[in-house]
A and B are shown apart, each in its own frame.
Chain A
Amino acid sequence: MQRLHQLWYIDLEARRRFQVRTMLIAFAYGLFNSLGLGRSEKQVTWETLGVAFFLTVAFSAFYCLRKSTSTETSKVIFKYAHLGEVFRQNRKIFEVGLASLVVLLALSLAIHLPNSRVQAAGIGMQLRRALSSPDPSDPNTIKEITTAFRMATADRVSINPKLANVAGKRVVEASRENPDAWSAALAFMSYRSTLNQEMSSLKKGTCIKVGDVSGIAVHVSESVLANCSQELDHVAWKNVVFENVTVVYHGSPTVLENVQFKNCQFSLDYTLSGQALAKSLAVSNNLTITLPGS
């Protein structure tokens, strides 16, 4: 125990050597398995942490079992007797550390600046990373895509259109068999509707509430519905623009003809008709579709 304490608290040079070697080996292990062998990132991550742990234990054991050298004394002499000595003896490290702290704070502020290209590229990288996962229905992949689209929607960041479409189609396809991917599909639709900036000359209308009916009960045409929550069920919509609307759909019959969505949030039930609507929304913001209900 004394030797172990010596390694971790006193013989910091030896500890540093072990640290550097462990870091390099763990880095090489992760890189080789991920890029060289193309193995699952999640699995290799845990393995790499295991390798780091094993090496740390192995190096500590090696240090403890090694023959004692003559320079070691029975008296414990700490490298730093007082906290202030850490800063005095490592003046450069302390200065760089302090400067690093300032840089980190500045960067964290810069990252949160809206509409920055860096932010868009960061979200793009996150999407690319999620798309490179071999299992599209993996919960982590879905969560990552959902977060990326929600972030892009909230901060009004425009992602690379090709990348966004590939990711969107991927989650919409995945949601047909995996209900967990549905939230990601809805997030993609909300993001997509923020891209629609077409101006409309139609007259302003108000959102409507249709009661407990069957089939198509109401016809709405030539109007703009804005800043409200609107159910699509049991209504035939023709030449209608939804703007800043929470679009709700429970899967009952509805007809959409030349309908546009701008800055909308989608709350669609996970039904066959909901999935058909999602598939159409993934392709275009200008919809013409008849949904019989499911």
Chain B
Amino acid sequence: MANPARRTVQTTTQVSFWRRRWENIEPAVSALVEDGLLLLIFVVVLTVVYLALGMLAGLGYDPRRIEMFETIHYWAYLAVFGLFMLDLVLRVLLHTISKR
């Protein structure tokens, strides 16, 4: 006959395993989440600027100036997005290596 206490012990062990696993990666995930929030704010600001440029173009603003602003916007977007993606990859790599 199965011991009813046995199942309870097993469940507790499993729960504590996942908890320990989460506690292990939680500081790293927290640092990534903070970066993610910052990236989100940057992306929204850049999107709003892009739409504003589109509206200016629609209202007949000088196309050559729009083109110049659009170029500036592109490089700002590339710098922000490139750096955050690079950081994400390097951080995950570093975390993986340091855990081994």
Report which A residues bind B (CB closer than 8 A): 1, 4-5, 8-9, 12, 19, 22-24, 26-27, 30-31, 34-35, 41, 45, 48-49, 52-53, 56, 78-83, 85-86, 90, 93-94, 96-97, 100-101, 103-104, 107, 110-111, 117-118, 120-122, 124-125, 128-129, 132
Contacts and interface: CB of A to CB of B under 8 A. Distances in A.
Interface string B39-57: 0110110011001011111
B86 A31 contact: no
Given A83-B26, A93-B37, A97-B41, A22 B83 contact: yes
B78 A12 contact: no
Contacts of A104: 40, 43-44, 47
A129 B67 CA distance: 7
Contact of B55 (A26, A34, A83, A118): A118
Contacts of A117: 55, 58
A227 to B, nearest CB: 33
Contacts, number: 144
A122 B48 contact: no
A30 B26 contact: no
Contacts of A48: 75, 78-79, 82
A21 to B, nearest CB: 10
B27 A30 contact: no
Nearest to B25: A83
Nearest to B56: A121
A96 B41 contact: yes
Given A94-B37, A101-B40, A103-B44, A9 B27 contact: yes
Contacts of B94: 4-5, 8-9
Given A8-B91, A94-B37, 13 more contacts: A8-B31, A9-B91, A30-B75, A35-B71, A48-B82, A49-B82, A53-B86, A78-B27, A78-B31, A90-B37, A93-B38, A107-B51, A110-B51
Nearest to A27: B79
15 contacts: A12-B31, A22-B83, A23-B79, A23-B83, A24-B79, A26-B78, A26-B83, A30-B79, A52-B82, A52-B83, A52-B86, A81-B26, A81-B27, A86-B30, A128-B63
A222 B49 CA distance: 52
Contact of B83 (A12, A56, A80, A128): A56
Nearest to B55: A118
Interface in B86-100: 86-87, 90-91, 94-95, 97-98
The 3 closest A-B pairs by CB, nearest first: A80-B30, A100-B44, A30-B75
Contacts of B70: 125, 128-129
Nearest to B64: A128
